[in-house]
Amino acid sequence: MFATLAFLFFLSLLLISIYRYDHKGLWILTFIFSLLCILGICFIWYFTINNSSLDGKNGDLIVFDREDVETVLQHTSPSLKASRISTGIFLQSIEFLTANDVAITGYIWQKTSGPDDKKDYPGFSFPDAKETEIQKAYVNDDSGVVRWHFKTTLRQKFEYSRYPFDREDLWIRLWSNSSKESVLVPDFDSYKSLIPEIIPGMESSILLGDWKPQKTFFSYRVNSYTTDFGGENFSNSNVPELYFNVDFKRDFMTPFESDLLPVIVVIVLLFSVLTLITKGESKQHFGFSSHGVLTYCTSLFFTLILAHSSLRNKIPIDSTIYLEYFYFIMYLAILVVSLNSIAFASNLSIPFIDKKDNQYVKVLYWPVLTGILLLITILNFY
């Protein structure tokens, strides 16, 4: 992409220098370079939004059938004598309470054989839960199926650095509560299909606000612990644990309207303010004065401050997110335009500013701004 944009720009530079090397040609070149940078940014956004790979970023071993499960279990070297407890899950609601807390309700069922069928307490637990409520919902003594309704609040570390183009992986870790040596395995027979894109194990009409579910899948993750938690059957290393994962992506339109659109408006208005900086005949028409430009810039600055504050309250994390760089660049642009108006109105002799009625600063506004934003986008996403 970068090579293509560079080729198109230098081709335009060659054509402009041959056919129209004048004031209008300079503005045409500015328009082409800025447009290419904007297209590059949109191109990266598009591929980020539509990225659909299951990369196993947390070291997950994704499974789709029993053969995959046995391969994982043999690879992680657990006891081959451990009983397999078929476990299924169905999510009915998901609510993001805070930046790191998510409330989940749904059903979990297990198929076992032996004395564990008669237990009055669930054969699973949520080790990552802050609080959990579990109630028995169904028992079939003939098939050994026990179904439980659960409501739990999980605390997880989500990555918001690419907001509003972030994708999150909500994972539900399950531990076995069985007194005998056992391992939880997905109940594949209870699902019509486990193709991740059709969102198995999740209510189709679930409401998620700004989020859209993309995939659901089972996986195992090998975790190591420095304790046996008081149980001899709990190994302290190479423990394969069952996870149910939900891959989300954020709906881009809502953040665009509330967080990105104000920045775009300020960018356009700031350029309009920059065009008022003139000593030519249009000075009387526009009423240019350094005081007026500073007043406009101050208004734009406070508008950005309010929008930025709203963004930080919405995404309360310590690190800097991608969209914040747009605000930082605009703060700097407002400062530069303000200083430019003061220098232009003063008696100081600055050829770069005074020459051709501040034309160079006006021409460089869009290329420099869009070029920096493209560079920031590349560094953040790649």
So where are the chain's domains?
Answer: 1-50, 61-250, 254-381
Q: What is the DSSP letter of 137?
A: E
Q: d(Cα 121, Cα 136) in Å, to the nearest integer?
A: 8
- What is the predicted pLDDT for the residue at 205? 83
Q: Is this prediction's pTM over 0.85? A: no
Cα–Cα distances (Å) from 132 to 7, 94, 129, 202, in that order, read 58, 14, 6, 19
* CATH hierarchy code of domain 61-250: 2.70.170.10
User: In what order do the strands lie in the sheet containing 145-155?
Assistant: 129-140, 145-155, 101-111, 83-96, 182-186
- What is the predicted pLDDT for the residue at 51? 73
The residue ranges of the chain whose pLDDT is under 50 are: 116-117, 235-237, 283-285
Q: Cis (ω within 30 of 0) for the bond into 262?
A: no
Q: d(Cα 382, Cα 373) in Å, to the nearest integer?
A: 14
Beta bridge partners of 185: 86
- What is the predicted pLDDT for the residue at 234? 54
- What is the predicted pLDDT for the residue at 79? 58
- What is the predicted pLDDT for the residue at 209? 78
- What is the predicted pLDDT for the residue at 22? 66
Identity of the amino acid at 166? D
Q: d(Cα 102, Cα 94) in Å, to the nearest integer?
A: 7
Q: d(Cα 45, Cα 63) in Å, to the nearest integer?
A: 30
Nearest partner of 373 among 317, 297, 336, 322, judged by Cα: 322
Check: CB of residue 347 under 8 Å from CB of residue 337.
no
Write out the CATH class of domain 254-381: mainly alpha
What radius of gyration, in Å, describes the C-alpha atoms of the chain?
29
Identity of the amino acid at 135? Q
